[in-house]
Amino acid sequence: MATSLQVGTAVAKPGSLQYGEWAAFEDAVGTREFLPVIIAQGREEGPCIWLTAGIHGPEHAGPSVLYHLLTPELADELRGTIVALPALCPPGLRTMAYVPYHVPENPNRLWPDGRESAPQDPDKPAPSAQERAYARLYREMEASADYLIDYHNAWTNSLSFVFKDRILYRTDGKSAEEVAATRAEAEALAGQLAAMIEAYGHTVVNEFPVEKYIDEKLHRSTSGAALLVGGIPAFTAELSTGHLPDAAVVQAAVAGTRNVLRWAGMLDGPREPIDQITVIESGYPVRRRQTPRVDRACVVLHTVETGDTVKAGDVVGLVRDVWGRPLGEGVIRAEEGGIVLGRAHGIYFNPGDPVLYMAVRDEDPMVGPYPEEFYKK
Ligand SMILES: [Zn+2]
């Protein structure tokens, strides 16, 4: 716990909200990009949680959660400190672009991955200003955060849910006893993370299994880096529609966050019910998967909704040609059972496109070693 905490120009003051700017970078035409910082500190000591949002430009529900959550009354009741950054990628937010114009890559894949930084390969692009800024911000986050929540939006009208990442641990250059100790630490972290997510109270969906997770560079997301490199319990909250935040989802995320603060000993009072939204408890672990996929170019008229539970073989959409005539069997069926997290946007699909975002039964372990080649690359 850091009692005297400063992030950018924001300096914590017990019992108050403090505001400031964190200098991200200055570009060649002299534009200074800063990240807005809000620090809420209670009068009593307690843990420090970082709440971050706005790394993806069209996702405006997360910043809304922080604007509703952070009130003078909260600072008055709080034990410990909240460091909130509602706008992690201002260029994306100002144009509502997922990939910002100034750095044409997914900004939520630019956080440190814990590998030794090799000398710059002259044939490869150097890290962007954005990546360098996140590397600096990461060090500040790691120095003070005991917990982190990063707020996002999945798809239009999707369920509000949490992505729970798997915990990976290093085995390179370690003896068998050291590996056992590292594994025990990873399992303890997984236990803390599960309890934190349970406190938040929305639907829980496990992230991809290890290989796909690393392929997708999810270990370099905000919460992935905090969790895997920093060993800090951290999760991604996915808050349904982004460009037009749903008031019920925002309220449920504010309540869920306050429940996390209670779990962490930062706030008193009973757990608030999460009854504004649909929460699915399947009774077994589920992971995300894009399924089923169309095998031809077609129109799909969905026949299932967000939150529906489907069985393998159930019809999930009508398949039509562009004139509206049935194609083939005329329907598309679920390939496996699970929960519909959301429908793929639109009705026109190309071969191989998924038509649903599903949560399906997860058989993979939540704790495991990094792939052997990870630290060699
Ligand atoms: Zn996002």
CA of 102 to the centre of ligand 1 (A): 17
**Conformational region of residue 111, where left means phi above 0, alpha means psi within -120 to 50, and beta covers everything else:** beta
Assign 3 a pLDDT band (cuts: 50, 70, 90): low
CA of 207 to the centre of ligand 1 (A): 14
Provide the pLDDT for residue 68: 98
CA of 119 to the centre of ligand 1 (A): 31
CA of 58 to the centre of ligand 1 (A): 8
- Write down the residue that tokens 């077609």 correspond to: 298
Identify whether 260 is part of a domain. yes
Say yes or no to pLDDT of 98 above 80: yes
Provide the pLDDT for residue 122: 87
277 and 298 together in one domain: no
Say yes or no to pLDDT of 276 above 70: yes
CA of 194 to the centre of ligand 1 (A): 21
Identify whether 373 is part of a domain. no
- Write down the residue that tokens 């003051």 correspond to: 13
229 and 331 together in one domain: no
Provide the pLDDT for residue 168: 95
318 and 343 together in one domain: yes
175 and 26 together in one domain: yes
Identify the three-state secondary structure at position 243.
coil
Provide the pLDDT for residue 124: 86
Residue 91's CATH number = 3.40.630.10
Determine the structural domain holding residue 108 and report its residue range: 6-118+126-282
Q: Tell me the residue type at 353.
A: D
**Bridge partners of residue 236, in order along the sequence:** 150, 163
Identify whether 189 is part of a domain. yes
CA of 55 to the centre of ligand 1 (A): 7
Identify whether 377 is part of a domain. no
- Under 8 Å between Cβ of 314 and 334: yes
Boundary of a domain, candidates 282, 302, 318: 282
d(CA 59, CA 24): 20
CA of 153 to the centre of ligand 1 (A): 5
Cα-based distances in Å from 178 to 6, 81, 182, 189, 354:
36, 34, 6, 17, 43
Identify whether 134 is part of a domain. yes
CA of 257 to the centre of ligand 1 (A): 18
CA of 288 to the centre of ligand 1 (A): 15
Boundary of a domain, candidates 261, 282, 303: 282
Provide the pLDDT for residue 7: 98
233 and 318 together in one domain: no
CA of 168 to the centre of ligand 1 (A): 22
The DSSP code sequence of 177-224 is: HHHHHHHHHHHHHHHHHHHHHHHH-SEEEE---HHHHHHTTGGGSHHH
Q: What is the 3-state secondary structure (H, E, C) of 275-330?
A: CCCCCCCCCCCEEEEECCECCCCEEEEECCCCCCEECCCCEEEEEECCCCCEEEEE
CA of 152 to the centre of ligand 1 (A): 4
CA of 57 to the centre of ligand 1 (A): 8
CA of 216 to the centre of ligand 1 (A): 14
Identify whether 323 is part of a domain. yes
281: Cβ–Cβ under 8 A, 6 or more apart, which residues? 203
**Conformational region of residue 80, where left means phi above 0, alpha means psi within -120 to 50, and beta covers everything else:** left
145 and 210 together in one domain: yes
Secondary structure percentages of the chain, helix, strand, coil, to 5 = 25, 30, 45
Provide the pLDDT for residue 377: 62
CA of 59 to the centre of ligand 1 (A): 6
219 and 337 together in one domain: no
Helix (H) or strand (E) holding 349: strand 348-349
Identify whether 368 is part of a domain. no
CA of 338 to the centre of ligand 1 (A): 23
300 and 347 together in one domain: yes
Provide the pLDDT for residue 121: 83
Tell which wins on pLDDT, 374 or 244.
244
Identify whether 94 is part of a domain. yes
Provide the pLDDT for residue 1: 47
Residue 331's CATH number = 2.40.50.100
CA of 240 to the centre of ligand 1 (A): 10
CA of 53 to the centre of ligand 1 (A): 9
**Bridge partners of residue 221, in order along the sequence:** none
Boundary of a domain, candidates 282, 314, 346: 282
CA of 106 to the centre of ligand 1 (A): 9
**Conformational region of residue 14, where left means phi above 0, alpha means psi within -120 to 50, and beta covers everything else:** beta
Quote the mean pLDDT of the chain: 95
- DSSP state at residue 142: H
Pick the closest to residue 85 from 177, 221, 222 (CA basis): 222
330 and 242 together in one domain: no
CA of 54 to the centre of ligand 1 (A): 8
262 and 312 together in one domain: no
Provide the pLDDT for residue 4: 85
Q: What percent of the chain has pLDDT over 70?
A: 98
Instruction: Specify the range with the lowest mean pLDDT, choosing from 21-30, 109-118, 139-148, 239-248.
Output: 109-118
The DSSP code sequence of 70-130 is: --HHHHHH-EEEEEEES-S-HHHHHHT-SS-TTS-S-GGG-S--SPPPPPPPTTSPPPPHH
> What domain count does the chain have?
2
303 and 222 together in one domain: no
CA of 291 to the centre of ligand 1 (A): 20
- Under 8 Å between Cβ of 38 and 66: yes
294 and 187 together in one domain: no
